Amino acid sequence: MVIDWGAFLQVFVAAIVGASIVVTSYALGLRLLVRGGRPPLVTPAEFTDAITVLTEKQRRRGEKAVAKAARKNPLSDGQKRLSLVGAYACFAVCASAVLGALLLILFNH
């Protein structure tokens, strides 16, 4: 049995670079989304014995906190718009990296 260490190194580097691009662009996109005045409110899915489900009062409190954070944003409308465009661009980079990796896997064999 012979191991092609060059191919192994190539796959390892590609995986590290790809994961770094996806994680960094997603994190930056979330940061810009919050900066643009649209912090995401994610309610947990309802699974038995897996995740504690939010009560209606907790959900309203979370929505109130999101609205308060959006009102306290000191940026101008142009700066908010630019942050949102940057956030969507980061999410597009993240999605294209994932799609590109899938296409590589499917059609490069």
Q: Are 87 and 36 in contact (CB under 8 A)?
A: yes
Q: Are 25 and 94 in contact (CB under 8 A)?
A: yes
Helix then strand then coil, in percent of the chain rounded to 5, is 70, 0, 30
Q: What percent of the chain has a predicted confidence (pLDDT) above 90?
A: 37
Q: Distance between CA atoms of 71 and 18, rounded to whole angstroms? A: 36
Rg (alpha carbons) of the chain, rounded to whole number: 20
Count structural domains, the chain.
1
Q: Are 53 and 46 in contact (CB under 8 A)?
A: yes
3-state secondary structure of 6: helix
Helix 5-35, helix 77-107: angle, nearest 10: 160
Q: Per residue in 62-72, pLDDT tens?
A: 888 877 776 77
Domain, as residue range, for 60: 5-107
Is 47's pLDDT higher than 90? no
**pTM beyond cutoff 0.85:** no
